[in-house]
Amino acid sequence: MKVTIIGPGAIGTLLAAFLARKNNEVWLLDKYTERALKIGKGGIRVEGLTKINAKVKTTSEAKEIGHQDAVILCVKSYDTEEAIKKTGALVKEDTLVLTLQNGIGNTQILNDIIGEDQVLAGITSQAATIIRPGVVRHTGKGETVIGRTTKKPLGRARVLLELLNKAGMPTRTTKDINSLIWSKLIINSGINAISAITRLKNGALLDYPAARELMRQAVSEAARVAKRKRIRLNYDDPIQKVESVCKASGENLSSMLQDVLRKKKTEIDFINGAIVRQGKSLNIATTVNETLTNLIKTIENSYQQQQ
């Protein structure tokens, strides 16, 4: 199976390494030519929970790759539209496109550009931290779940399911991927922004009463929005769940904290910002999520002034 992973971030690099070690034909598509050449020359190394050294083909030009059986999108959510529009050489009528991104809104962008028949949505509990281009630390193991946001049957998606499982990434399908996407979104809404603002690891958020209260309020707002939308979450108590995730990933730096530390744009608009937009459309107050969104945007806008 010919597979291209778009985005050499932590999850994209980890996924490329897992697939490449099983001798799949894997390409890693990067928007930066210099970084693509560097990864292509040095290969990929995975440290931590899994040890992998693998060679993958890399490029910044989709036309060098050609028609693919599957494309897996691992770019930041704010790059989704630009990334998929530049992949015309990869995506034909029989190409599956899977998003394994944070937040909500990515699937709709892909459906509008490609068509919902080819688009799959997914979430993963695999966790990794980028050390430098081509080198990641595998920090958390867990299942990956894929499905369609529409009621259409999975069809050829089962081929991708088999590919991921054979590569050593436990994967299953679901008929209700929206439930899982929202379940993850609510957890991220309680952890990412607060950790990025406070510079605290996930577990440390529970050590400070004020941070813990902010987390509970953000999650409660998000859960109210999900309830109004009649989205079934995969846990009964959202607050208890987010706190348990903090404990289980205690030493992890959230992806948003990693972005802020590197003075990079964050995915706030697709996480807490998305909760705010959905809340406004339903006339539900999301004051804490709006405040967190504004604070993160202020941090982003002040990068040049920070020492």
Query: How do the domains of the chain map onto residue ranges?
Result: 2-175, 178-305
Active site residues: 184
pLDDT 10s digits, 161-178? 999 999 999 999 998 999
pLDDT 10s digits, 7-54? 999 999 999 999 998 878 899 999 999 999 999 999 999 999 999 999
The terminus-to-terminus CA distance of the chain in angstroms comes to 47
The pLDDT assigned to 306 comes to 73
What is the percent of the chain with per-residue pLDDT over 70, rounded to a whole number? 100
Map tokens 């605290």 to a residue: 200
151 band by pLDDT with thresholds 50, 70 and 90: confident
**Smallest Cα–Cα separation from 13: which of 71, 56, 77?**
56
The pLDDT assigned to 252 comes to 85
pLDDT at 154 exceeding the cut of 80:
no
Cα 150 to chain centroid distance, Å, stands at 20
The pLDDT assigned to 307 comes to 61
Q: What is the mean pLDDT of residues 241-265?
A: 93
**194-225 b/e with 16+ CB inside 10 Å = b?**
bbbbeebbbbebbeeeebbebbbbbbbbbbbb
131 φ, ψ (degrees, to nearest 5)? -95, -50
* Fold of domain 2-175: Rossmann fold (3.40.50)
What DSSP string describes 169-185?
--EEEES-HHHHHHHHH
The pLDDT assigned to 29 comes to 97
Residue 130 β-bridge partners: 136
Residue 133 gets which letter from DSSP? Answer: T
Q: 182-185 long-range CB contacts below 8 Å, 24 or more apart?
A: 182/104, 182/226, 182/229, 182/231, 182/233, 183/233, 183/234, 183/235, 184/102, 184/123, 185/103, 185/104, 185/222, 185/271, 185/274, 185/275
d(CA 145, CA 274): 22
150 band by pLDDT with thresholds 50, 70 and 90: confident
Q: What is the mean pLDDT of residues 189-198?
A: 98
pLDDT at 64 exceeding the cut of 70:
yes
Q: Does 245 or 1 have the greater pLDDT score?
A: 245
Q: What is the mean pLDDT of residues 182-190?
A: 97
d(CA 266, CA 173): 29
To the nearest whole number, what is the mean pLDDT of the chain? 94
The pLDDT assigned to 153 comes to 74
pTM: 0.91
Q: What is the mean pLDDT of residues 89-107?
A: 93
129 band by pLDDT with thresholds 50, 70 and 90: confident
> What single letter denotes the amino acid at residue 19?
L
pLDDT at 304 exceeding the cut of 90:
no
Q: What is the CATH number of domain 178-305?
A: 1.10.1040.10
Residues 6+ apart with CB under 8 A from 153: none
